[in-house]
Amino acid sequence: MKKVEDALEALRKGDFVLVYDADGREEETDFFVAGELIEAKHIFRMRKDGGGLIFIMLKYEDAQKLGLPYLADVIYKTANKWPVFKELIPNDIPYDTKSSFSLTINHRKTFTGIRDVDRALTIREFAKLIKEIKSLSDVEAQRLFGQRFRSPGHVPICIAAKNLLKERQGHTELGIALAEMAGLSIMAGCEMLDYEVSLSKEKAREYAEKNGFIFLEGYEIVEAWEKWRE
């Protein structure tokens, strides 16, 4: 628990925490950073040292309030109108049963949306929005969402499973579990890649030690989350 508590404190300070999901799953390590504290420097490091997709992790209940669907459901339910979607249904993911991806967004004050400052602004403002909608109705929350953001954009949103780690133990759920324990609204992340493959757990751990970041494995988060919920 001490290691996870240190990780929660690091996240509250705006520092990175590296999280490896599990052997036999994706076997990937992701950068995690608090969405409300993200800056351009965080985006720069993630794209330079991580190289994967920079994305937002969102709690299921918050996604429901914003009316955000899983993209796989949109593809499935609109396949009659656009037949090509029938060919693209993601029913063969080798490590999971369902994708957590939803829409991609840009804040309306961004320029291209892809620059470090743009993506940092989008993520930071989205975290701010999630805090604001707690006291709003669904209709009010969705109207405010539309006033501030546009889609498609350059920041993908991933929605955590409804029952979180009891249902799925991907990076999205691990990130939201950490966010809940740390008192944060959302988590931002990015996969760490190597030449042609994902960065190995050993190399990711070495990177964390070299740069003073806490390295967590998924099972450590699951154990801490279960105790936190007791």
98-126 pLDDT, tens digit per residue, is 789 999 999 999 999 999 999 999 999 99
> Counting beta carbons within 10 angstroms of the beta carbon of residue 100, is it exposed (0 to 12), middle (13 to 18) or buried (19 or more)?
buried
Q: Which residues contact 89 (CB under 8 A, 6 or more apart)?
A: 72, 75, 76, 79
Bridge partner residues of 159 (DSSP):
58
User: Which uninterrupted H or E stretch holds 3?
Assistant: helix 2-12
Q: Shortest CA distance to 157 belongs to which of 183, 179, 126, 120?
A: 126
pLDDT digits (tens, 9 = 90+) for 16-58: 999 999 999 999 999 999 999 999 999 999 999 999 999 999 9
Q: Which residues contact 14 (CB under 8 A, 6 or more apart)?
A: 33, 34, 37, 38, 39, 42
Domain ranges of the chain: 2-229
pLDDT recorded at residue 96: 73
Residue with structure tokens 């899983």?
A: 70
pTM equals 0.95
- Which homologous superfamily does the CATH classification assign to the domain defined by 2-229? DHBP synthase (3.90.870.10)
Query: By the 8 A CB rule, do 139 and 37 touch?
Result: no
- Report the alpha-carbon distance of residue 83 to residue 228 in Å, rounded: 46
pLDDT recorded at residue 211: 98
Q: Reading across the β-sheet that carries 149-159, which strands appear in turn?
A: 101-107, 149-159, 51-58, 187-192, 29-34, 17-20, 214-217
Q: Which residues contact 105 (CB under 8 A, 6 or more apart)?
A: 122, 126, 149, 150, 151, 152, 153, 155, 157
pLDDT digits (tens, 9 = 90+) for 166-221: 999 999 999 999 999 999 999 999 999 999 999 999 999 999 999 999 999 999 99
pLDDT band at 92 (very low <50, low <70, confident <90, very high): confident
Query: By the 8 A CB rule, do 57 and 187 touch?
Result: yes
pLDDT digits (tens, 9 = 90+) for 127-171: 999 999 999 999 999 999 999 999 999 999 999 999 999 999 999
- At 213 the three-state DSSP class reads coil
